[in-house]
Amino acid sequence: MSLLHPSLCNAFIHFKKDDYFCENFGFMRFYSLPLIALLAVACNNSGSEPAEPQKSLSDSLLQQVLDGHDVAMPKMMKLERLQKDAQAELDSLKQAKGNATRIALLDSTIKNLSYAEATMNEWMEGFRYDSLKDNEPARVDYLKIQLASVNQMKEVVLSSIAKADSVLAK
């Protein structure tokens, strides 16, 4: 005994036998589910929300300050190595009572490298990452000063390393 009415069964059997319908129905069934899923996902993404929150001036300044630090900080190990190399050459020249001009040049190089190291350490000790978070105008002023300071520190570090490289390469 069938639960379907006999005329519906005959219609169903008729449609099953129709190759065109079966092929198209299979095609629709195969592609409609992914199409519906894609449409649902597209409808859930509202374009009203920005991908990133808008950065404030203080956020941009802070990022510039941190970028300046990130340029100079990795050079500190090289700076220390150059200090040791210059000091070792200076010590050997002093023992051998070597070239006075070279001794003066190495001494100046060591002083420049020491100044660069002190400048980096002083800036790092003085910088306050979360300073004045509750006062945006004062924070912007503070970060502008820090940006100038970090750029100066970065220039001192990079130039002292470049000079030391040229002196020690000779």
Residue 132 pLDDT class (50, 70, 90 cuts):
confident
Residue 157's domain comprises 57-169
The answer as to whether 92 is a domain residue is: yes
79 and 24 part of one domain: no
| CB-CB contact of 158 with 79 (8 Å) | no
| pLDDT value at residue 55 | 80
Number of domains the chain is built from = 2
pLDDT, average across residues 146-163? 97
Query: Average pLDDT in the 135-163 region?
Result: 95
- Asked if pLDDT for residue 27 goes beyond 80, the answer is no
- Judged by phi (left if over 0) then psi (alpha if -120 to 50, else beta), residue 49 lies in beta
Is the domain of 27 the same as that of 61?
no
pLDDT of residue 19: 52
Helix extents (H) in the chain: 6-17, 19-44, 57-72, 76-95, 100-126, 136-169
Query: Is residue 156 in some structural domain?
Result: yes
Same domain, 123 and 149: yes
Determine the average pLDDT of the residues in 114-136.
92
- Per-residue pLDDT at 29: 58
Task: Indicate whether 140 and 71 sit together in one domain.
Answer: yes
Residue 5 has pLDDT above 60, yes or no: no
Q: Do 114 and 146 fall within a single domain?
A: yes
Contact 143, 65 (CB under 8 A): yes
| Of the listed ranges 19-33, 44-58, 108-122, 141-155, the one predicted with least confidence | 19-33
Q: Within a domain: residue 1?
A: no
Backbone angles phi, psi at 136, to 5 degrees: -60, -50
DSSP per-residue letters across 7-34? HHHHHHHHHHH-HHHHHHHHHHHHHHHH
Is 74 part of a structural domain of the chain?
yes
Is 72 contained in some domain?
yes
